[in-house]
């Protein structure tokens, strides 16, 4: 069976539409691609409000308890992951531990993201792991972008 998306006008198979119990045919009238585009646009336009909502939601006692239980349930997998990480990337692991110890001891203090200025949840980014205390403070989003840039630079230089 096929259905036409009211947004993009393309005729697509039923599987390209999310299920929706209130629709006559049981599927949303907008295809998954258009829905995802709308969600991304809404998030980008309202990012501060959404981040604040997520922060408040994360503080709810029921969520904290569920997260604690989930962390306990998968603790063994995390330790397995960390063992593989230490074996694969000893230099990264060492730099990460040095930064964490320096933060704990007050020798290093996180500052707002150097790219966008966001101050919460910043991460220490190393351009050179042999200099563990030489870090750039980046929010999660900008940190991911920086690593994508680094990977793209590597791909270009390898080609």
34 Cβ contact list (under 8 Å, min separation 6): 5, 7, 8
Pairwise CA distance, residues 55 & 49, whole Å: 10
Is this model's pTM higher than 0.85 or not?
Answer: no
pLDDT of res. 55: 92
| Average pLDDT estimate for 129-155 | 95
| 6-45 pLDDT tens trace | 999 999 999 999 999 999 999 999 999 999 999 999 999 9
Mean per-residue pLDDT of the chain? 94
């Amino acid at each position: 069976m096929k259905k036409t998306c009211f947004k993009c006008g393309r005729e697509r198979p039923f599987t390209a539409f999310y299920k929706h119990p209130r629709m006559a045919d049981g599927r949303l009238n907008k295809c998954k691609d258009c829905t995802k585009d709308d969600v991304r646009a809404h998030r980008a336009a309202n990012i501060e409000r959404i981040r604040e909502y997520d922060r408040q939601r994360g503080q709810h006692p029921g969520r904290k308890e569920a997260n604690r239980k989930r962390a306990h349930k998968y603790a063994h997998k995390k330790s397995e992951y960390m063992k593989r990480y230490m074996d694969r990337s000893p230099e990264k692991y060492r730099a990460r531990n040095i930064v964490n110890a320096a933060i704990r001891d007050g020798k290093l203090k996180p500052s707002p993201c150097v790219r966008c200025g966001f101050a919460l949840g910043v991460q220490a980014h190393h351009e050179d792991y042999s200099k563990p205390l030489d870090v750039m403070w980046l929010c999660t989003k900008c940190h991911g972008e920086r690593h994508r840039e680094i990977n793209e630079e590597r791909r270009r230089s390898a080609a």
